[in-house]
C-alpha cells in the first residue's frame, strides 16, 4: 500500500547540473563545440582578436554595434572603496579583494535596475583599477592613479607596475581579455543573470559572478598549466613526462573541454598572439613542445574521444609573458569576463523573467515531531 503522506512521484524531467537544459536565450555569443567555433554577436573570435580591441568587443557586447575605435580607459577607485581594500589582510586572495571592491563600488554608486551600457562601462573600467590597487597595497606599495590616455588593458598593467607597458605587451593581454570576455551560460554568467532577474543591481550581479568564478571548477587552470610546464622542464623531457603523467592518472592541464570537442578557437587565437610576442619567452617554446606531445599521446590513449588544447593552455604563456604573477591569473580572467557578465545583465534586464526553477523533493514524507 502506498503511504498517503508520501509526496506523489515527481516525474518531471531533471538534469543534474542543468546539463543539456536550455535555460534562456541570448544574442551575445554562440559556441559550436563540435566545430570549435565561438562567435560574439555573429563575429568569429579569431577575427575579433585580429581586428579588434577589448574596448571595441565590450561595446559590441553591450550595444550590438561594432565600433573599432571605441576606447575604455580605467576609472579611479572611489576613496571609500580604496579604504575597504586597505582594510583587507594582505594575504587575501585577489579574487576576494575584487569581489569586495565590486560590492563596495555598488554601495557607493547605487546603480539602479535595469542595468544599462553606461553602468556596464563604469563597472568594467573601475575593476582593473581596484585589482591593481590591491596588487600594490599587498606588496606595501601605494596605488597608482589610472592614466586617462591608456586604454583599459594597458591601464591595468600600468597601475600594477607603475610603468606604461610596451605596445606588444598591452596587445597580448588585450587579446586575452577579448577571448575571455564572453562564453555563454557558464556558471558565473548564469549567476549574474539569476541575480539580475530579481531586479537586483549590476554590482550585485557581478559580485555574485566573481564568487561563482572563484571555484576551482570554473576559474580555469592557467596557473596549473604553468606548474606542469615547469615540472616538464625541457622540451626533451616532454614525451616521458606526458606518458608518465597519463599513466599515473594525472590530467594534463589545458587539454579537454566540456563543450569543445575540437581545438578550442580561443586557444588558437592566443597561440597566434603568444607566438608573435616580441619577447618570446623560452618558456613558450617549451609549451609548444609539450602541446605537440600531449596532443599525440592523448590521441593514442583516447582514439574515440577528441581531447584537444583548451584556452587555458595558451592563456598561461600570455599571462606569464606580460609579467603577471600566477596568483593574479584568476582575478584577471574575472576582469576580462566583466564585459560578458554585464552584457548578460543588460540582456536579462531588458526582457526580464524571474529565474526560479523547480526542485525535486527527495526528503521525508510528512510526519509529526517526536512526542507531538
Active site residues: 257, 312
Answer whether the bond into residue 114 is a cis peptide, omega within 30°: yes
Which residue lies nearer to ligand ACO by CB, 28 or 307? Answer: 307
CB of 165 to ligand ACO, least distance (A): 25
What percent helix, strand, coil does the chain show, rounded to 5? 55, 5, 40
* Sheet with 37-40, side-by-side order of all strands: 29-32, 37-40, 43-44
Which residue lies nearer to ligand ACO by CB, 247 or 354? Answer: 247
How far from 361 is each of 4, 28, 129, 242, CA to CA, in Å?
16, 35, 45, 45
CB of 19 to ligand ACO, least distance (A): 10
Does position 311 interact with ligand ACO (CB under 6 A)? The reply is yes
Number of residues that bind ligand ACO (CB under 6 A): 17
Measure the CA–CA gap between 322 and 324, rounded to whole angstroms.
6
Which residue lies nearer to ligand ACO by CB, 56 or 221? Answer: 221
Window 233-262: contact mask with ligand ACO (x via CB under 6 A) = -------------x----xxxxxxxx----
Window 267-306: contact mask with ligand ACO (x via CB under 6 A) = -----------------------------------x--x-
Residue in 82, 102, 132, 221 binding ligand ACO, rule: CB under 6 A: 221
Residue in 220, 317, 330, 349 binding ligand ACO, rule: CB under 6 A: 220
Note the residue count of the chain: 372
Secondary structure, 3-state, 189-200: HHHHHHHHHCCC
Place of cell 566540456: 258
Which residue lies nearer to ligand ACO by CB, 230 or 279? Answer: 230
Residue in 100, 103, 191, 310 binding ligand ACO, rule: CB under 6 A: 310
Torsion of CA 362, 367, 368, 369, to 10 degrees: -30
Which residue lies nearer to ligand ACO by CB, 312 or 347? Answer: 312
Phi and psi at residue 23, in whole multiples of 5°?
A: -110, 15
| Residues 124-143, interacting with ligand ACO (CB under 6 A) | none
- With CB atoms as reference, the residue minimizing the distance to ligand ACO is 256
Measure the CA–CA gap between 172 and 318, rounded to whole angstroms.
7
Q: Which residues bind ligand ACO (CB under 6 A)?
A: 220-221, 246, 251-258, 302, 305, 307, 310-312
Amino acid at each position: 500500500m502506498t503511504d498517503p503522506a508520501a509526496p506523489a512521484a515527481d516525474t518531471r524531467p531533471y538534469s543534474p547540473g542543468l546539463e543539456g537544459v536550455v535555460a534562456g536565450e541570448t544574442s551575445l555569443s554562440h559556441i559550436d563545440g563540435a566545430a570549435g567555433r565561438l562567435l560574439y554577436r555573429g563575429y568569429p573570435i579569431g577575427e575579433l582578436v585580429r581586428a579588434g580591441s577589448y574596448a571595441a568587443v565590450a561595446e559590441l557586447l553591450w550595444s550590438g554595434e561594432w565600433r573599432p575605435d571605441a576606447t575604455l580607459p580605467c576609472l579611479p577607485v572611489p576613496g571609500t572603496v580604496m579604504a575597504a581594500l586597505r582594510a583587507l589582510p594582505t594575504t587575501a586572495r585577489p579574487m576576494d579583494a575584487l569581489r569586495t571592491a565590486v560590492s563596495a563600488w555598488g554601495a557607493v554608486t547605487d546603480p539602479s535596475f535595469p542595468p544599462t551600457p553606461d553602468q556596464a562601462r563604469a563597472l568594467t573600467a573601475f575593476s582593473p583599477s581596484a585589482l591593481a590597487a590591491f596588487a600594490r597595497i599587498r606588496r606595501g606599495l601605494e596605488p597608482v592613479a589610472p592614466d586617462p590616455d591608456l586604454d583599459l588593458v594597458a591601464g591595468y598593467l600600468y597601475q600594477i607596475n607603475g610603468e606604461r607597458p610596451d605596445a606588444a605587451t598591452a596587445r597580448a593581454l588585450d587579446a586575452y581579455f577579448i577571448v575571455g570576455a564572453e562564453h555563454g551560460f557558464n556558471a558565473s554568467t548564469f549567476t549574474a543573470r539569476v541575480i539580475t532577474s530579481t531586479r537586483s543591481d549590476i554590482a550585485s550581479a557581478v559580485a555574485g559572478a566573481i564568487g561563482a568564478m572563484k571555484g576551482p571548477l570554473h576559474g580555469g587552470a592557467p596557473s596549473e598549466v604553468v606548474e606542469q610546464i615547469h615540472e616538464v622542464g625541457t622540451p626533451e623531457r616532454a614525451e616521458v613526462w606526458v606518458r608518465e603523467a597519463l599513466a599515473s592518472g594525472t590530467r594534463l592541464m589545458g587539454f579537454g573541454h566540456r563543450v569543445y570537442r575540437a581545438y578550442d578557437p580561443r586557444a588558437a587565437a592566443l597561440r597566434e598572439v603568444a607566438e608573435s610576442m616580441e619577447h618570446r619567452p623560452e618558456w613558450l617554446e617549451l609549451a609548444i613542445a609539450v602541446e605537440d606531445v600531449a596532443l599525440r599521446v592523448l590521441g593514442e590513449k583516447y582514439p574515440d574521444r577528441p581531447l584537444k588544447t583548451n584556452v587555458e593552455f595558451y592563456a598561461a604563456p600570455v599571462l606569464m609573458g606580460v609579467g603577471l604573477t600566477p596568483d593574479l591569473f584568476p582575478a584577471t580572467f574575472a576582469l576580462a569576463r566583466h564585459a560578458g557578465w554585464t552584457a548578460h545583465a543588460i540582456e536579462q534586464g531588458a526582457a526580464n523573467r524571474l529565474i526560479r526553477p523547480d526542485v525535486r523533493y527527495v526528503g521525508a514524507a510528512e510526519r509529526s515531531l517526536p512526542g507531538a
